[in-house]
Amino acid sequence: MFFQVVDILGTIAFAISGVLVALDKRMDAFGVVIIAFVTAVGGGTLRDVMVGIHPVSWMTNMTYVYVILGAAFFAVLLRKQINYLRRSLFLFDTIGIGLYTVVGIETGIVAGLHPIICIALGTMTACFGGVIRDILCNEIPVIFRKEIYATPCILGGFSYFLLREFVADTNFIFVIAGLIVIIVRLLAVRFKISLPSLYGAEEF
């Protein structure tokens, strides 16, 4: 039950981040819904395909479809109350990667995969929806820029398996590992921490 709640929360966060990007690009209602949908389920779809879940989870559980449509509707409805569009986008995107990282890792564990593969699966689950969103919106995906994006997911993944050695409560591990992802990304952006550039002082 807790696992599903985390998955739903991640879906909501990513759907809203997709809506904010689509609104920023001044897309019509159809475009907003499509961007919200692919942002929310893109990573989960890749995850399910890779571990052999068929059909993928959102196709067999209409809850995800309703949640995405509901989140998109309310995000559009309340867009005037969102004063700082990019700050809001960053916040929801960060929450999304934190929640989806632990969901992807747990899916890998259930499938009996090696911890390193589970961490990679969690990272892809967290990042791939944003990659699709940015490509469709004609942006360079965040994961391919200097900004720290996948690294917090990897650190959260390692923390997840480290905590499993000392803590028995799976729900607690979920929360702490997800918070680590969120906090590391927030701190990286706040203090302008980034990966080394291959192009010297040039900016992307």
Q: Where are the domains of the chain?
A: 2-190
> Average pLDDT of 61-87?
82
DSSP, res 195: P
- Judged against a pLDDT cut of 60, whether residue 187 lies above it is answered with yes
DSSP bridge partners of 194: 147
* Rounded Cα gap, residues 157 and 31, in angstroms: 33
The tokens for 190 are 């706040």
pLDDT band at 128 (very low <50, low <70, confident <90, very high): very high
DSSP, res 82: -
Which candidate, 44, 45, 23, 47, places its Cα nearest to that of 33? 23
pLDDT band at 38 (very low <50, low <70, confident <90, very high): very high
pLDDT of residue 87: 65
> Average pLDDT of 17-39?
93
The tokens for 39 are 């942002």
The pTM (predicted TM-score) of the whole model is 0.88
pLDDT of residue 66: 96
pLDDT of residue 6: 87
- Judged against a pLDDT cut of 50, whether residue 44 lies above it is answered with yes
* Rounded Cα gap, residues 197 and 61, in angstroms: 42
Q: Which residue has the tokens 């965040």?
A: 142
- Judged against a pLDDT cut of 50, whether residue 204 lies above it is answered with no
Cα–Cα distance list, 3 to 81, 105, 106 (Å):
31, 11, 8
The tokens for 147 are 């900004």
- Residue 153: which H helix or E strand, with range? helix 150-164
Average pLDDT, the chain: 89
pLDDT band at 116 (very low <50, low <70, confident <90, very high): very high
